[in-house]
């Protein structure tokens, strides 16, 4: 029993040492970046509110309108996504980075630090996006809080934290770069939608945002998978494998969402048109 306990302790110690030794010292003291505890507390409170406390509080209340709040929130998210896309472009993906293999540089030169700051800001952005779900709860839009929605909003801050803590730059940042571009379009759509029915009737392109998201994950899937076939690429293959798995899973989930919602909607419209004839 004592031997097994010692072996377990040794394994845990090795894991702790591995994570301590590989942390990015440049970002260690940045807000919410030193340890995962505060993030997990935020995510725990988020899930508790969105799944239990929030719906219970709203049960016998009228939904909040939140029009002005949503206008401001979505405008801020558009601006933030644009800044992230621009910084990702200037920090590497505008020509300095290699699509096939881009190792992480832990240097403190201006370009490397620019990308590191962009990774941290992306992490903060993912935390602020938890408000998407909070607003759904307050507006009693519980049907929009699907498993995909919760999984996506919970996992992305965790992945972003790992990026800030250990890999604030390099190959994995393409995800944030492309994702920020998609979010410019997505939050612009939400901003216009929040303006009311007079504008909403012109927003026919929502399904194409989902298509862009699927394309995004397919690109990341290929981009990270290729690392496994490059023995000389100095980017952690374990992290690349995790990103590949996650991109593949999101591709499947978003594709299933697209089929379930837009294909059925098209079929229903076709039936309605046939009846009118």
pTM over 0.85: yes
Is the residue at 22 inside a domain?
Answer: no
Is the residue at 121 inside a domain?
Answer: yes
Residue 192: what pLDDT?
96
| Cβ count within 10 A of residue 160 | 23
Could you list the residue range(s) of the whole structural domain that residue 136 is in? Answer: 36-276
CA distance 56 to 223: 43
CA distance 277 to 272: 9
Determine which one of 22, 96, 152, 183 is catalytic: 152
Residue 27: closest CA among 114, 130, 153: 114
The answer to whether the CB of 119 falls within 8 A of the CB of 160 is: yes
Domain count, the chain: 1
Is the residue at 26 inside a domain?
Answer: no
Residue 270: what pLDDT?
56
**Is 171 assigned a catalytic role?**
no
Is the residue at 13 inside a domain?
Answer: no
The single-letter DSSP state of residue 63 is P
pLDDT along the chain (277 residues), means of 10: 56 59 87 95 98 96 95 98 98 93 92 96 98 98 94 96 94 96 97 91 89 96 95 91 95 92 65 54
Residue 165: what pLDDT?
94
Is the residue at 65 inside a domain?
Answer: yes
Is the residue at 230 inside a domain?
Answer: yes
| Three-class secondary structure of residue 245 per DSSP | helix
Is the residue at 3 inside a domain?
Answer: no
The answer to whether the CB of 123 falls within 8 A of the CB of 78 is: no
Is the residue at 15 inside a domain?
Answer: no
């Amino acid at each position: 029993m004592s031997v097994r306990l010692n072996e377990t302790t040794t394994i845990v110690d090795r894991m702790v040492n591995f994570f301590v030794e590989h942390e990015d010292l440049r970002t260690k003291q940045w807000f919410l970046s030193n340890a995962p505890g505060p993030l997990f507390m935020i995510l725990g409170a988020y899930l508790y509110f969105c799944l239990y406390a929030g719906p219970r509080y709203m049960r016998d209340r009228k939904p909040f309108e939140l029009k002005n709040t949503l206008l401001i929130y979505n405008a801020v998210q558009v601006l933030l996504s644009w800044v992230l896309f621009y910084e990702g472009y200037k920090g590497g993906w505008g020509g300095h980075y290699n699509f096939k293999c881009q190792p992480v540089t832990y240097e403190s030169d201006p370009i490397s630090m620019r990308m590191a700051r962009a990774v941290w800001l992306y992490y903060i952005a993912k935390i602020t996006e938890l408000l998407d779900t909070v607003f759904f709860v307050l507006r009693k839009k519980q049907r929009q809080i699907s498993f995909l929605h919760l999984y996506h909003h919970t996992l992305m801050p965790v992945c972003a934290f790992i990026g800030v803590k250990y890999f604030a730059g390099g190959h994995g940042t393409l995800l944030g770069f492309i994702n920020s571009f998609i979010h410019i379009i997505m939050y612009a759509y939400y901003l216009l939608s929040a303006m009311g029915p007079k504008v909403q009737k012109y927003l026919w392109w929502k399904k194409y945002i989902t298509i862009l998201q699927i394309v995004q994950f397919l690109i990341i899937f290929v981009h990270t998978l290729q690392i496994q076939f490059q023995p000389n690429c100095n980017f952690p293959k374990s992290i690349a494998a995790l990103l590949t798995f996650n991109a593949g899973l999101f591709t499947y989930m978003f594709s299933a969402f697209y089929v379930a919602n837009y294909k059925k909607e098209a079929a229903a419209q076709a039936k309605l048109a046939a009846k009118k004839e």
